Each structure stands twice: as C-alpha cells, then as structure tokens.
Amino acid sequence: MTTDKVETAEAAAVQLFQQAAPLDPARHQDLKLDRSVGFAFARNQTAVPIVATEFAMAARDLPIVFAGEGRLPMAVLGIRSGENLLVGDDGAWVAGRYVPAHLRRYPFILQEDEAQQRFALCIDEAAPHFQSQDKGEPLFNDAGATPLVTEMLQFLGEIQGGFAQTQAYAAALVAADLLIERSAVVELKSGERVTLEGFFVVDEEKFSRLPIETLAEWAQKGWLPLTYFHLQSRLNWTHLVDLAV
C-alpha cells in the first residue's frame, strides 16, 4: 500500500508557473498563445485550488477538500502524488469533466505588486502555449494589447474576486472548528491500495449542530451552499477510482 498527500495551493501554483514574468509589450511583442496544446502541462497536478464560485460545477465531478495552512479548498484530480487522472495520454482533458479555473487561466496569472499596490498581469514564459510562433493568437498588435489579453484580465479578475470570498469562508470553517483531518483509502482495479492524506473535510455532525443564528448568517453570505457542495463532492472519489489503473 502506498501513501500520498494532497498538495497545497502554493505547491500547485509553483509547479505550474516555472518562469513567471510581467507581461511586457516590448519583450512579448511577438508571442502567440496556442490554445491547442491541451492540458499536458497539468499532468502532475494531483490537486489544484478552487474558489467559491467554482464549487457548484466542481462538485459534480471532483472531490473538494481543504488543505494547507489556510485550509483553502482544493479539487482533487488524482490519487497518487504527481498524478492527474483527468489528463489523457494525448494531453486532452477527460470529456465532460470540469476543468478548474486554476488550469484554464494558465499560462496567465495576477501577481501582487506591493510597491505600486496593484496586481500585475504575468505570464509563464516557459509555458508550452508560447513555444510556437507559427500558430496561435497574438498577445499584441500595432494597436497594443489584443482582445485576448483583455479576456484573460477579466477572467483573472473574476478569480481574484472569488478568492476573497473563499478565504472568508475557509476562515469561518476554521473559526467554527468544523474541519477535521481525513485520509482516503482507495482500492484500485489492480488490487493496489493507495492512501491519500493531508487534507481536511467538514465534520457533518458538528455542522448540523451550528446555532440557528450562525446558519442564518452563513445562508446570507452564501456559505451554506458551499458546504453542501463540498459534502456532496465526497461521492466523486469513485469517479477517480474509475479512471485509475
């Protein structure tokens, strides 16, 4: 039997963004984004961070757990460390399964510029999306940034906005002492038993005993549906087992 751990949100980001640099019209004038490269870049992502606005969609297909110092939500994509069961040999995502925004936004990311108190749009210069100059969508033209850059800025802004709600929700779970550490023991079709640990889930019994006043507050803030989606997502471990060998 093997034992693996759910990676933190920070570790997932570090694995993806190997060479992040601020988007610069002079430096990146000739870059083109090739969207056809697929998701081979995410082949080693066992779990990735998600934000509150993704819970409804993610809960249909993926287990949602909490991990790291901030107990932030993660969507589990594999059972063994360094394994993403949603990416096929050809780099295509499994048809019909939800793709977390953390992966859909790649190779773009917002990084905080503390000196200017703002977020800067950055790209991973090492991303396979930028390796071809023969095909793809340009980031810049004679008029400046193309609509592609505007599109990604808007998408990243939505993710960043959802992150604030996500942090508040996770902090509320911690404050209410609702998160308990768990491990998933999975038996694969081959007979191998794998244990995935290092993650937290909502204690359903404690959650059911929350005071009426707290439940009303959480309902108003949209935190009750998030908890229900998380609890529902426990059924999705079988989806991962079906994809494993």
Instruction: State pLDDT tens for residues 4-58.
Output: 667 665 666 667 888 889 999 999 999 999 989 999 999 999 999 999 999 999 9
Phi/psi for 149 (5° steps) reads -65, -40
Paired tokens of 63: 């287990």
Is residue 81 scored above 90 in pLDDT?
A: no
Is residue 235 scored above 60 in pLDDT?
A: yes
What kind and span of H or E run contains 172?
Answer: helix 147-175
Paired tokens of 130: 């930028």
Q: Tell me how many degrees the CA angle 83-87-90 measures, rounded to the nearest 5.
A: 125
The domain of 156 spans: 2-243
Find where tokens 């510029």 sit: 113
pLDDT at 114: 65
pLDDT at 14: 63
pLDDT at 20: 87
pLDDT at 115: 62
Average pLDDT score, the chain: 90
Q: Give 186-219 pLDDT, tens digit per residue.
A: 877 777 888 888 899 999 999 999 999 999 999 9
Paired tokens of 70: 């901030």
Q: Give 103-128 pLDDT, tens digit per residue.
A: 999 999 988 776 666 788 999 999 99
pLDDT at 4: 64
Cα distance between residue 236 and residue 60, in whole Å: 8
Cα distance between residue 145 and residue 162, in whole Å: 25
State percent of the chain over pLDDT 90: 71
Query: Ramachandran region of residue 136, left (φ > 0), alpha (ψ -120 to 50) or beta?
Result: left
Find, among 149, 137, 127, the residue nearest to 24 by Cα: 149
Please indicate whether residue 132 or residue 170 has the higher confidence score (pLDDT). 170
Cβ(27)–Cβ(53) below 8 Å: no
State percent of the chain over pLDDT 70: 92
What kind and span of H or E run contains 229?
Answer: helix 223-232
pLDDT at 64: 98
Is residue 239 scored above 60 in pLDDT?
A: yes
Domain total in the chain = 1
Going from the C-alpha of 203 to that of each of 176, 206, 207, 231, the distances in angstroms are 11, 5, 6, 9
Give this prediction's pTM: 0.90
Phi/psi for 139 (5° steps) reads -85, -25
